[in-house]
Amino acid sequence: MNKENTVRFAKEIRLETAKMLMMRGFGHLGGSFSIVETLAVLYNDIMNINPSDPKSEDRDWFVLSKGHAGPALYATLALKGYFPKDWLMTLNDNGTRLPSHPDRLRTPGVDCTTGSLGQGSSQAVGVAKSFQMDNKPNRVYTIIGDGELNEGQVWEAFQFAAHQKLDNLIVFIDENHKQLDGLTKDIINPFDIRLKMEAFGFNAMRVDGNDVEAIYNAIQKAFLVKEKPSVIVLDTIKGQGVEYFEKMFDNHHIRFAGESEMMLKDAIEILEKEVSE
């Protein structure tokens, strides 16, 4: 891993995501920004991918179960060359190839259609099981939101994954401590997610979700574990990477106007400078 390159890639993802949302005038900034570092590590350092052949049989699969964070995934895919960057400015337009939530039939590089929370976990587990049955080396990675853990389907998928000993599966839980309508601890307290996942039969770790090196090292540790799926709980901040939005309480979905629009413009200018250095 070249940490400097991965940190730069994360800044590029955050910048392109911000530009998309500025153009659109609204969007899921909070949960998109909180997974940027994880996407940077996966697509820059970890996954076996081929942007020139998105459907390669040898590729690793990525499932964005928290599909509302689609803008961050689109920025990542465009930067890796899956499709032209100018597509990013069509986010949510009529007839766009980049709909609000990822659609595998519309966007090159999207492996699973997601957005209905909870279902991505089952898709990821099913794909991992198919690779296990076929004795294939492909791995599956999925990001699930901490608010998404309210869905019972997630826990059914986790039980199945542990029982089937899917050591080709790594689950990331984005614990940014908020969901659509408030703090996760106030809506349904998740308690200690790492301990809970351990009890479900997973190899479980917790890392700073803003630290690309910590994320990378946790993945490397997961690779060493046999006959168990792994989970990496990401301790993140909703709106991660831009202080104004980190401190905004209601930052799940934002309509940019007045101060919030001005602060997003400022963030874009700062990120552009950092990326160009």
Predicted local distance difference test score (pLDDT) of residue 277? 82
What 8-state DSSP symbol labels residue 256? -
What is the rounded distance in angstroms from the CA atom of residue 109 to the CA atom of residue 240?
24
The total number of structural domains that make up the chain: 1
What is the rounded distance in angstroms from the CA atom of residue 160 to the CA atom of residue 148?
18
**Structural domain harbouring 143:** 3-276
What is the rounded distance in angstroms from the CA atom of residue 191 to the CA atom of residue 80?
37
Computed on alpha carbons and rounded to an integer, the radius of gyration of the chain in Å comes to 18
Predicted local distance difference test score (pLDDT) of residue 191? 97
Ordered per-residue pLDDT tens for the chain, 277 residues: 999 999 999 999 999 999 999 999 999 999 999 999 999 999 999 999 999 999 999 999 999 999 999 999 999 999 999 999 999 999 999 999 999 999 999 999 999 999 999 999 999 999 999 999 999 999 999 999 999 999 999 999 999 999 999 999 999 999 999 999 999 999 999 999 999 999 999 999 999 999 999 999 999 999 999 999 999 999 999 999 999 999 999 999 999 999 999 999 999 999 999 999 8
What is the rounded distance in angstroms from the CA atom of residue 87 to the CA atom of residue 83?
7
Which helix (H) or strand (E) segment holds residue 97: the answer is none
Predicted local distance difference test score (pLDDT) of residue 118? 94
| Secondary-structure percent of the chain, ordered helix, strand, coil, rounded to 5 | 50, 15, 40
What is the rounded distance in angstroms from the CA atom of residue 201 to the CA atom of residue 161?
9
Q: Are the beta carbons of 155 and 161 closer than 8 angstroms?
A: no
Predicted local distance difference test score (pLDDT) of residue 126? 98
Token output for 90: 């069509």
Q: Are the beta carbons of 207 and 234 closer than 8 angstroms?
A: yes
What is the rounded distance in angstroms from the CA atom of residue 99 to the CA atom of residue 170?
26
Helices (H), 34-175: 36-41, 70-80, 119-133, 152-163
CATH number of the domain where residue 157 is located: 3.40.50.970
Dihedral-angle region of residue 37 (phi above 0 means left; psi in -120 to 50 means alpha; beta otherwise): alpha
Cα-Cα end-to-end distance for the chain: 20
